[in-house]
Amino acid sequence: MKIQLSSLHTKLKHSFGYDTFRPFQEEIIAAILGKRDVLAILPTGSGKSLCYQLPILETPGKMAIVISPLIALMQDQVQVLTSMGISAAFINSQLSYYELKNIQKNLQNYALIYVAPERLCKEEFLDLIKPLNIAYFVIDEAHCISQWGHAFRPEYRQLAILKHHFPQVPIATFTATATPLVQQDIIDQLHLQTPYKAIGSFDRSNLTIRIDQRDNGKDQLKRFLESHRNQSGIIYTTTRKSVDKLYEELKKNGYPITKYHAGLTDSERQKAQGTFLNDTTPIMVATVAFGMGVHKPDVRFVVHMDLPKSFEGYYQEIGRAGRDGLPSDCLMLYSTRDYILQKSMYADIPDDITKHSMLRRLEQFFSFCAASECRRKQILHYFSEPYLHDNCQNCDNCLDDIITEDITIIAQKILSCVYRMQQRFGIQRVVDVLAGSQTQEIIQNRFDKLSTYGLLSDLPRLDIRHYIFSLINQNFLAMTEGQYPILQLTVNARSVLKKTTPVFVRKRVIKVHKERKKSEKSHSNTVNRNMLAKLKEVRKQLASKAGLPPYMIFHDKHLVHMAELQPKNEAEFYQVQGVGEQKHKLYSKAFLECIASCLS
């Protein structure tokens, strides 16, 4: 089948209001229309939804079924699609009996139907959809199918039956996180046939990452909030109690804030989420129970008030900022106390494998916090993605003043210690030996007789640990997977030991908070701020009239584009990003009037 690319571009502008495709979108759409299975691993905010929403407009008379695990997300997407003039519905437990029957009776009239996996796999539902003209299935959050992923959902396993019942219908799978193991598992479980693979970078270059020691946390937070006035953001803290306390304190200080944790009733939680989404209370203070399935595009900051438990959790949580691609700030405040406390809580976990795996993730993450290499590089390294730059210009370690320390001699001591211990021990033991600890185990194993014993006894243990992690990050050492990870030398280690390769670490010395990338700054400087504020007012009025969150009328970045372009007539208004036919029809008048009055 030959795909009419120009027709895809027309639909992109007509329905979604965009002029160009993002990376991979066009290829994925072409694959789906070519009846090919798809495996797409693309980061948050890269525009995955459009990849499966647009093709259905190219296949009139047919429909697509989207399997999604989260009720909130289904509702959000159906609202967005409806606001663009695309017929969509969701089927889940939130519907009344009458609504359900009504939708089920008219299934063939919808372009997109959203449904949870457990319902889809029921025989009754399969019978209902079999006679329909289904163009393709979509599986969102596809990593949930794999036991190796971080969010396994057993009900996803049942989706294996799809290819059995619908052998001719392509399946397009999407997720933001999947290691190679999980990717293969998705393919195997769903019996995907030589799928088109779109594997994008994990990098979120619009997020500014900053990690600081917590000193007086509340003051640090308030300073941060002062520089983020009138913006929407999420503040994470670990316990329900700390959420309640922080909420009270910030509320007293006049911040437009709401809160969310598992101790609140369903309706309290729903209300909090609602007022956060529609910007009545644009700041959310919450435990990590909040955020899954919340696709608010204009979250401008995410703050962690304590140490997250792993890279996975941290990256997922900060990933909720800046989905619209605009610059957004992520601040984490941590202290060594968090680490010790968390470690002691793990002691009670009965299952050894789980305990060790959690401990290992925590340790790796803690060491990342104190490290001085580029944050982005370290995060991507953790997720097995090479980052080819040394300076991202958008994290504290790259923005602040840094000195480079030559640690060649320390590195040689560490590497040779690992070698002398026959590459059979984990970090803890290696640190013990280098620090010259006199534990029973050291004596029993005769480690105190090694030539490397006590070689770094003049350094604090924490520093030795950080140097080791730095060597891992720089690929001189590797840490094995499994219950008891051990340290091993990589091929690169040899040249360090032979004294031919020097090793450096970067140390952050002066914490001046420099501004982020120039290009991003200048982008926002060209905007007429006064006009932007007025446009936001108009958006708010339209949103409350339509009973929609403001971002469903237009995203911030679309208003920014509007304020840059300053359209004077209907044709010019259509040039604004995010303006498709439906939105043009509904909103052009109000915004054009606003722009005209600003310019007069």
Q: Which residue ranges make up the site for ligand ADP (CB under 6 A)?
A: 18, 21-22, 25, 42, 44-50, 295, 297, 323-324, 555
Q: Which stretch binds Zn ion (CB under 5 A): 196-204, 395-403, 408-416, 437-445?
A: 395-403
195 binds, among ligand ADP, Zn ion, none (CB under 5 to 8 A by kind): none
The angle at the Cα of 21, spanning 17 to 25, to the nearest 5 degrees, equals: 120
Instruction: Count Cβ atoms within 10 A of the Cβ of residue 456 and give its class: 0-12 exposed, 13-18 middle, 19 or more buried.
Output: buried
CA distances from 598 to 96, 309, 523 (A): 46, 49, 21
469 binds, among ligand ADP, Zn ion, none (CB under 5 to 8 A by kind): none
CA–CA separation, 158 vs 122, rounded Å? Answer: 9
Query: What tokens appear for 409 in the block?
Result: 């001699």
Min. distance of Cβ 395 from Zn ion in angstroms?
3
CA–CA separation, 381 vs 389, rounded Å? Answer: 12
Q: Which is nearer to Zn ion, 82 or 205 (CB)?
A: 205
Min. distance of Cβ 593 from ligand ADP in angstroms?
25
398 binds, among ligand ADP, Zn ion, none (CB under 5 to 8 A by kind): Zn ion
Min. distance of Cβ 535 from ligand ADP in angstroms?
17
Q: Which stretch binds Zn ion (CB under 5 A): 174-182, 234-242, 376-384, 561-569?
A: 376-384
Q: Applying CB under 5 A, which of residues 235, 272, 299, 398 lies at the interface with Zn ion?
A: 398
3-state secondary structure at position 577: coil
Min. distance of Cβ 481 from Zn ion in angstroms?
27
Instruction: Pinpoint the alpha helices (H) of 20-137.
Output: 25-33, 48-53, 71-83, 97-105, 117-120, 123-129
Q: Applying CB under 5 A, which of residues 330, 395, 415, 562 lies at the interface with Zn ion?
A: 395
Distance of alpha carbon 411 from the chain centroid: 34
395 binds, among Zn ion, ligand ADP, none (CB under 5 to 8 A by kind): Zn ion
485 binds, among Zn ion, ligand ADP, none (CB under 5 to 8 A by kind): none
- Yes or no: say if 580 and 16 are a contact pair by the CB < 8 Å rule: yes
CA–CA separation, 259 vs 286, rounded Å? Answer: 6
Q: Which is nearer to ligand ADP, 555 or 583 (CB)?
A: 555
CA distances from 135 to 7, 36, 171, 580 (A): 18, 11, 9, 24
Q: Applying CB under 5 A, which of residues 113, 190, 362, 392 lies at the interface with Zn ion?
A: 392
What are the residues whose beta carbons fall under 8 Å from the beta carbon of 587, sequence distance 6 or more? 542, 553, 554
Instruction: Pinpoint the alpha helices (H) of 260-374.
Output: 266-277, 311-318, 336-346, 352-370
Q: Which is nearer to Zn ion, 521 or 568 (CB)?
A: 521
- According to the binding rule CB under 5 A, does residue 374 interact with Zn ion? yes
Min. distance of Cβ 373 from Zn ion in angstroms?
8
Q: Which is nearer to ligand ADP, 478 or 586 (CB)?
A: 586
Segment holding 402, helix H or strand E: strand 401-406
- According to the binding rule CB under 5 A, does residue 376 interact with Zn ion? yes
Query: What tokens appear for 35 in the block?
Result: 């009846």
Q: Which is nearer to ligand ADP, 18 or 382 (CB)?
A: 18
89 strand-pairing partners:
113
Min. distance of Cβ 558 from ligand ADP in angstroms?
9
Min. distance of Cβ 2 from Zn ion in angstroms?
44
Q: Which is nearer to ligand ADP, 207 or 487 (CB)?
A: 207
**Which positions lie near Zn ion, rule CB under 5 A?**
374, 376, 392, 395, 398
